[in-house]
Structure 1
Amino acid sequence: MLQTPQALTLILKMLKNPPLKALSLFESSILQGVQHTPDTIAITLDILLSSNMLFHSQSLLLQMLDRNLLVGPHTLNNVLGFLIKSDSFEKAWILFTESKKRVKLDVYSFGIMIKGCCDAGDLSKSFELLGQLEELDLSPNVVIYTTLIDGCCKNGDFEQAKMLFDKMGEIGLVPNEYTYTVLINGLFKKGLKKDGFELYQKMQLNGVIPNLYTYNSVMKEYCNEGKVRFARARDAAVVAGLVKEMEERGIKPSKVTYTIVIDAFMKSENTERAFELYQFMQKAGLVPDVYTCGVLIHGLCTKGNMKEARKLFESMEEMQLKPNDVIYNTMIHGYCKEGSSYRALRMVREMGEKGLVPNVASYSSTIGLLCKDGKWQEAEALLNEMIESGFEPTVSLYNIISEAKHET
């Protein structure tokens, strides 16, 4: 028989698993009259959470609160964090609401719930929590403001995001690299390039060193910004310079970084440099993904180098990568541009075998090319497949097939 919470604590620490046994022991000890302490509650909840028993964790904590047992904010935050990460926001909200009456909440409790509200897209609730936090004479920290700025950006409210950023300075909070990055990234996504680049400059003037995600975001925007060949060549050089700056600061380029730079060189028609980076990336132990291969294949197809594009396409299987619909459609467009109706049709057929559906442009271009080569029967069959896939062919596409029939 368990006489003291200290004895229960010792047994629970030794037990660890299975979780249901720990829960059973905890519940039976209540019937035996053991007065639980914050330690016994925390250890039991840790065992349940480590086994992902979220419902049991929430239920147990609510029971303890109903019994007016002392629960520390750290224990509460642990359960709230697990619930939020497991997409159980509603359960977290119920627990948080009940806890406000019985637990002395701290800044981290509010920070967890503000993030949960932002992730759920409920900004109004996030700002309500910020107000409650301040009413309790708790000072919001940089993490909370960064979370709110990120939430505003994702919700498209950039004016509010910038106001929050400015307010940080007013209340003595110094934005860190994550704060700058979420706002820079948000501004770029909104198309506010000038504002994004200005904030990036301000970040460095204020002595805040960009992190990997900042560099990736800025480099990607340089690549997106290039409109003509001259601009793209210039941007590729800028991007390469940023990679060098990263390395000098001890920041290791990621797979995403290399893909962005490869894209920049492909757009500037520097295929040789792009493939050098592709090989260097692999030597550095970074395995290319579907997007990396897609960038290279797109560049090769644009240049009309279908032989190399096909070679890379086939090498994806060796790397255990499955080409997606974007890559297939790119290859089809490349073959149509080359005038190879046979290869374009073969890619369309292969897409079907893989459970992928060509887009309207792929269907239309292949049908048009088949008709040009006098293969109206294959074109007509493909037109029917296009309709079965849910696409509505244009009148001109019907006319192209009709004309091909009359010419044979």
Structure 2
Amino acid sequence: MLSLLSLKKTYSTNHHLFQIPKRLFVALSSTATSTQSIEVERIARIINDHPFPNQPLHPTLTRHIPSPLLTTAFVENVLGRLFAAHSNGLKALEFFKYSLNNQTHFSPSPDSFEKTLHILARMRYFDKAWDLMVEIGKTHPFLLTLKSMSIMLCKIAKFRSYEETLDAFEKMEKRVFVGRKFGVEEFNVLLRAFCTVRKLKEAKSVFIKMHERFPPNVKTMNILLLGFKESRDVTAMELFYHEMVKRGFKPSSSSYGIRIDAYCKKGYFADALRIFEEMEKANCLPTLETVTTLIHGAGVARNAMRARELFDEIPKRNLQADTGAYNALISSLVKCKEVKSAIQLMDEMEKNNIHYDDMTYHTMFLGLMKSGSIEGVCELYNKMVDRNFIPKTRTVVMLMKFFCVNSQIDLGLNFWGYLVGKGYCPHHHALDLLVTGLCSRGRSHEAFKCSKQSLERGIHVSEAVYRMLERFLLQSNMTDTLGELNQMIEKLQSVLPPSSGNYIHSPSSGPRCRFFKLTFVECSKRFEGREFG
């Protein structure tokens, strides 16, 4: 990295004497990026693998992170990895606070704060999230953004009551965003929190209650339009749209895009095309996102030919197809059972240097599963692992279920080991599936090892997992192993109480929650005589 900086300096001061060949400069930049990526992966793995709560994390961070490494981009990338890995939220919080206390090379950014807040709010550790927001408001108020407000309000709207969400908005105005006058933009964040979680009734109530204080703009109307779309009530959405136009609000690209998406998801592709034409007549230029939505809509309508035509029109509209556009066409082909054509499209993406993302893999895995191609799924899985790609939670759970249902339990174990080896904490649903599959095949010792790996990383196990392990360990006369499991659970609970809605077993006091009490027989029935659906 230092050599790259010195070359840059030489270039700028002696431009006529010495010029860096372009290929060399690109190679050096690529090497620097690659080195940082390796360091990000190393530190994320160290944080995830750190024994929690047996040892404090701070000394480990001090030992493994040299001061020059702690840059703004580095901290953002590590927190991004921890978020994707479903890491223990308190570890992510400790890493963020560690970076705040070492600002020689690091300048805190809104992105790093937002990621930390998102990890805590997603785990429903709202008390910790509030404490962090209040603290940041006092020490680094410039980190408080509309996005951080949105992250918090969306999670509260999803998991808490209407009144609690309004109280949270008021708390932000009076105690967190001190000195900031709330206006229509903040009001829009509150409305969007309800609309994105399909609480349209609450959104309308908030609008009626507060619109005089916060005069609405086009964005406000689009958010409510989005709420109608999310409620899947196309008629109500159209009535609101026409009312919006009558009140003098000029529709934007977002307005048309929301309506097109609503019709596409309902399978009314002809209506979506009609609105698309209406959009063009209004001199509102379609975006790549709009065309991508239509390609998806063609797939829902099982019209692969029209999906391909829309895709081919992208360059004619002075737009460039990206991963999302390719994913939309792959999805349409899969829905029309043209899996081979979808595979060819993946090859085309590779040829055009367009990278696969989680949606690419998820859609293809789903298509291969529905076509009954176990070999195809295994082949794509191996390709994904060879590329060191880490899928998102829903893809992880889907793959784990497929492996367990289709007698590929060793592949399930391999997948678990791959994720853990990459420094990721697989979601508890994946652990539930794997433990159920292992126990049903008499491999309780391996099931225990996987559960132990989760607990060691500060992630609670579910009631179903505990009950299965308890039964099989007792049947195998492995009381010492069961005692070790109980001790780990009790110790973790002493420092990391279950988040709201979390379901774990407390060996000393019985079940903490009745939400998820599946017996082993009920769980194992899922694996008997069923294909993946």
TM-score by length of 2: 0.43
2:350 to 244, 250, 257: 244
Structure 2 contact 304–333 (Cα < 8 Å) conserved? no
Confirm or deny that 1:80 pairs with 2:80.
no
Partner SS, residue 173 of structure 1 = coil
Which residue number corresponds to residue 205 of structure 2?
Answer: 94
Q: For residues 187-236 of structure 1, what are the alpha-carbon distances to aligned partners after superposition, in whole Å with 9 as ceiling and x for unaligned?
A: 21222222222222223332322332321231233345457xxxx6x526
Q: For residues 55-90 of structure 1, what are the alpha-carbon distances to aligned partners after superposition, in whole Å with 9 as ceiling and x for unaligned?
A: 2257899xxxxxxxx973223212212332354432
Which residue number corresponds to residue 149 of structure 1?
Answer: 260
Deviation at 1:168? 0.6
2:398 to 267, 291, 308: 291
Partner SS, residue 153 of structure 1 = helix
How many residue pairs get aligned? The number is 283
Structure 1 contact 222–239 (Cα < 8 Å) conserved? no
Structure 1 Cα separation of the partners of residues 365 and 187 of structure 2: 46
Report the CA distance shift for 1:172/1:296 in structure 2 as closer, same or farther (over 3 A).
farther
Structure 1 gaps, min length 5: 1-15, 22-41, 62-69, 333-349, 366-408
Structure 2 Cα separation of the partners of residues 83 and 315 of structure 1: 40
Structure 2 contact 154–194 (Cα < 8 Å) conserved? no
Give the letter aligned to residue 411 of structure 2.
L
Structure 2 contact 150–193 (Cα < 8 Å) conserved? no
Deviation at 1:106? 0.8
Structure 2 Cα separation of the partners of residues 50 and 81 of structure 1: 8
Structure 1 contact 48–56 (Cα < 8 Å) conserved? no
Give the letter aligned to residue 171 of structure 1.
A
Which residue number corresponds to residue 403 of structure 1?
Answer: none
Deviation at 1:18? 6.7
Partner SS, residue 185 of structure 1 = helix
Structure 2 gaps, min length 5: 1-128, 135-145, 157-163, 173-180, 420-425, 442-471, 473-517
Higher relative contact order (CA 8 A, sep 6+): 2
Structure 1 Cα separation of the partners of residues 343 and 130 of structure 2: 56
2:292 to 175, 178, 181: 181
Structure 2 Cα separation of the partners of residues 202 and 47 of structure 1: 36
Partner SS, residue 256 of structure 2 = helix
Partner SS, residue 285 of structure 2 = coil
Structure 1 Cα separation of the partners of residues 273 and 309 of structure 2: 13
Structure 2 Cα separation of the partners of residues 17 and 176 of structure 1: 38
Confirm or deny that 1:197 pairs with 2:308.
yes
Name the larger-Rg structure.
1
Report the CA distance shift for 1:297/1:220 in structure 2 as closer, same or farther (over 3 A).
farther
Deviation at 1:98? 4.0
Give the letter aligned to residue 520 of structure 2.
E
Which residue number corresponds to residue 214 of structure 1?
Answer: 325
Deviation at 1:109? 0.6
Structure 1 contact 145–164 (Cα < 8 Å) conserved? yes
2:360 to 254, 257, 261: 257
Structure 1 Cα separation of the partners of residues 151 and 527 of structure 2: 54
Q: For residues 33-66 of structure 1, what are the alpha-carbon distances to aligned partners after superposition, in whole Å with 9 as ceiling and x for unaligned?
A: xxxxxxxxx9xx99995994512257899xxxxx
Report the CA distance shift for 1:241/1:296 in structure 2 as closer, same or farther (over 3 A).
farther
Matches within 5 A, 1:375-386: none
Report the CA distance shift for 1:265/1:236 in structure 2 as closer, same or farther (over 3 A).
farther
Confirm or deny that 1:165 pairs with 2:276.
yes
Which residue number corresponds to residue 356 of structure 1?
Answer: 523
Matches within 5 A, 1:55-70: 55-56=166-167
Report the CA distance shift for 1:241/1:109 in structure 2 as closer, same or farther (over 3 A).
same
Matches within 5 A, 1:119-134: 119-134=230-245
Q: For residues 298-343 of structure 1, what are the alpha-carbon distances to aligned partners after superposition, in whole Å with 9 as ceiling and x for unaligned?
A: 9xx7xxxx7xx45324434545545859x98xx99xxxxxxxxxxx
Structure 1 Cα separation of the partners of residues 166 and 221 of structure 2: 21
Which residue number corresponds to residue 411 of structure 2?
Answer: 312
Structure 2 Cα separation of the partners of residues 47 and 87 of structure 1: 16
1:235 to 313, 325, 341: 341
TM-score by length of 1: 0.54
1:139 to 250, 274, 277: 250
Report the CA distance shift for 1:239/1:58 in structure 2 as closer, same or farther (over 3 A).
same
Structure 2 Cα separation of the partners of residues 152 and 84 of structure 1: 18
Give the letter aligned to residue 239 of structure 2.
E
Give the letter aligned to residue 410 of structure 2.
K
Query: What RMSD, in angstroms, separates the aligned Cα atoms of the two structures?
Result: 4.7
Partner SS, residue 356 of structure 1 = helix
Deviation at 1:183? 2.0
Q: Which has the higher helix share?
A: 1
Structure 2 contact 268–301 (Cα < 8 Å) conserved? no
Matches within 5 A, 1:37-48: none
Partner SS, residue 109 of structure 1 = helix
Q: For residues 105-134 of structure 1, what are the alpha-carbon distances to aligned partners after superposition, in whole Å with 9 as ceiling and x for unaligned?
A: 211010111101111123233223322332
